[in-house]
């Protein structure tokens, strides 16, 4: 692509050679990618932190980043057994140390035996990950290990890249996707892969659960597109925190089967279920138990990660995708895509092995592992309940029960004058609210417009991860700010 006249003229004026790669010559789809969780609000939060370090006076003493589900950054302690085995894998000299339990040493030795050169520093040999780790799931060998692809977290675009058709039409794909939903899913489908995303809105009266009739409307709306259909589901939900019932999942599977949709199931928060009566049901398990014709024909890809749950090991980037009923020839193409990247991080693969196959009740590490796991989940459950209670006491804020995951998605009432002011500034109203919140309180949350929401409604997403007492202060401070903001623009 030739350089624009403006680029060339500016370069000449500066006496410099014009840049080859500019905003005008770069891939336009990259410019269109948006990821609100790390967007302009977070950039401003970084600036405020620097200003505080430089001694600039602010109405607050610290920036609280409640914008992202980074558990250990918020103070969650790592699980001892996971770190012990990883330490032994990274430094095998420690295998002779009496400081480590025998079962941790055996697990480390077993993982290292499966690594090239018995070292975590080697490529994993196969682009889909270490064979031993792909084979074993919860202490049992799975039937089809070749259907499991280890990945860099659960944020891999490989499956999506296969699904979205590249036709000659301007719009290349239709991806029915829950709204609100994670901005990473929305950004990958709607921008990077040039698909037309059709939102189906989650039913607030059903605790932001899926309404299949609403999803059907989306399928009809997008039926003209020349591409593969994809349906995206989150279980539990991000950003909404809902946990779908088994009946709901069965309805989704039947809907996908009838509409010829490929299902993508994001199940990274499967350990994070708090509400009484709620239970995690995996899409694959439900699909298999539904029997023919669904079990043998419905195409599905389900994702899991070491980053969430009780583990919170975001930095190791361990995860996997399991595909069900995928065409064998297409599956080979997926393996080819992964081959370009050589392999996912091997320490993350080792960590994943420990997550899918934790200590058994007869192992020396079991008691401590269980106690630590239950303590993390119990505290998250208390935080989920606290978030719901505090927000629902605040006039103008309503929050559905946080049944699972690690976020709340409160709806806020914004006065008409605030909406008008936001429009004057060229901002979405909830972005305007969140920016003001950050500047006046140091609390960093993400506007709901970054996740999709019904027209005329305003939300924000915040994590429930801060320590309990710090979270209580954050919730109360945020509620007081909303009252002040409402009064200012009334």
Local structure of residue 364 (DSSP, 8 states): T
**Nearest-angstrom CA–CA distance, 37 and 64:** 14
CATH 3.90.1150.10 domain span(s) along the chain: 32-75+370-488
Residue corresponding to tokens 């009780």: 310
Task: Give the count of alpha carbons within 13 A of 439, CB side only.
Answer: 8
Phi, psi of 221 (to 5 degrees): -60, -35
Query: Per the omega criterion (within 30 degrees of 0), is the bond before 239 cis?
Result: yes
CB 24 within 8 A of CB 44: no
Which residues of the chain form CATH 3.40.640.10? 116-356
d(CA 294, CA 288): 8
Give the fold, CATH level 3, of 32-75+370-488.
3.90.1150
Q: Is the C-alpha dihedral spanning 152, 318, 308, 139 positive or negative? A: positive
Cα 183 from Cα 173, distance rounded (Å)? 18
Question: For the segment 409-422, what is each residue's pLDDT rounded down to a tens digit?
Answer: 999 999 999 999 99
Q: Which token pair is 337?
A: 């895509």
Q: Which stretches in the chain have pLDDT values below 70?
A: 1-15, 29-39, 137-143, 155-158, 160-161, 163-230
- DSSP per-residue letters across 6-52: HHHHHHHHTTSPPPSS-TTTS-HHHHH---GGGSHHHHHHHHHHHHH
Judged by DSSP in three states, 425 sits in coil
Please report which residue ranges of 222-339 form alpha helices under DSSP H: 246-259, 283-290, 294-297, 328-339
Q: What is the spatial distance between Cα 449 and Cα 460, in angstroms, rounded to a whole number?
A: 8
Helix (H) or strand (E) segment spanning residue 462: strand 460-463
For the segment(s) 116-356, the CATH number from 3.40.50.720, 3.40.50.300, 3.90.1150.10, 3.40.640.10 is: 3.40.640.10
Is residue 353 helix, strand or coil? helix
pLDDT confidence of residue 264: 86
Instruction: Quote the pLDDT of residue 13.
Output: 65
Cα–Cα distance, 148 to 244 (Å, whole number): 24
For 250, other C-beta atoms within 10 Å of its C-beta total 18
Distances (CA, A) of 396 to 87, 198, 478, 484, 486: 49, 30, 12, 11, 9
Where is 370: in which H helix or E strand? helix 366-393
> What is the pLDDT, as a whole number, of residue 119?
92
């Amino acid at each position: 692509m030739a350089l624009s006249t403006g680029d060339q003229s500016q370069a000449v004026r500066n006496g410099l050679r014009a840049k080859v790669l500019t905003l005008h010559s770069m891939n336009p789809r990259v410019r269109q990618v948006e990821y609100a969780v790390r967007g302009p609000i977070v950039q401003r939060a970084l600036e405020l932190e620097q200003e505080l370090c430089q001694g600039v006076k602010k109405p607050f003493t610290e920036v609280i980043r409640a914008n992202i589900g980074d558990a250990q950054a918020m103070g969650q302690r790592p699980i001892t057994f996971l770190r012990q085995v990883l330490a032994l894998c990274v430094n095998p000299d420690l295998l002779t140390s009496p400081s480590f339990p025998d079962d941790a040493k055996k697990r480390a030795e077993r993982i290292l035996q499966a690594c090239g050169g018995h070292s975590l520093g080697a490529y994993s040999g196969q682009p889909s990950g270490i064979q031993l780790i792909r084979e074993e799931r919860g202490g049992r060998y799975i039937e089809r290990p070749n259907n499991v692809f280890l990945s860099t977290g659960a944020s891999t675009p490989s499956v999506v890249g296969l699904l979205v058709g590249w036709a000659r039409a301007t719009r290349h794909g239709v991806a029915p996707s829950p709204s609100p939903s994670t901005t990473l899913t929305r950004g990958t489908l709607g921008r990077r892969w040039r698909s037309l995303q059709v939102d189906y809105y989650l039913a607030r009266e059903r605790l932001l659960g899926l309404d299949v009739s609403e999803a059907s409307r989306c399928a009809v709306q997008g039926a003209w597109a020349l591409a593969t259909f994809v349906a995206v589901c989150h279980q539990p939900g991000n950003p909404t925190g809902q946990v779908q019932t088994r009946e709901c999942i069965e309805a989704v599977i039947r809907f996908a089967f009838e509409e010829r949709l490929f299902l993508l199931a994001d199940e990274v928060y499967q350990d994070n279920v708090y509400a009484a009566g709620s239970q995690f049901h995996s899409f694959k398990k439900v699909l298999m138990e539904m029997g023919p014709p669904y079990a043998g024909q419905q195409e599905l890809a389900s994702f899991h990660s070491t980053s969430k749950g009780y583990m919170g090991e975001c930095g190791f980037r361990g995860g996997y995708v399991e595909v069900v009923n995928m065409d064998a020839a297409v599956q080979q193409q997926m393996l080819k895509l992964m081959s370009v990247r050589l392999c996912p991080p091997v320490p993350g693969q080792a960590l994943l092995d420990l997550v899918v196959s934790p200590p058994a009740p007869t192992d020396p590490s079991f008691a401590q592992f269980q106690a630590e796991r239950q303590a993390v989940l119990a505290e998250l459950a208390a935080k989920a309940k606290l978030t719901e209670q505090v927000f629902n006491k605040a006039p103008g804020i309503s929050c559905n029960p946080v049944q699972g995951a690690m976020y709340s998605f409160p709806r806020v009432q914004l006065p008409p004058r605030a909406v008008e002011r936001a429009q004057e500034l060229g901002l979405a109203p909830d972005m305007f609210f969140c920016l003001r919140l950050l500047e006046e309180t140091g609390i960093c949350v993400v506007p709901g417009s970054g996740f999709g929401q019904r027209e005329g409604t305003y939300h924000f997403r915040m994590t429930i991860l801060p320590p309990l007492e710090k979270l209580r202060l954050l919730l109360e401070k945020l509620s007081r700010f909303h009252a002040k903001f409402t009064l200012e623009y009334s």
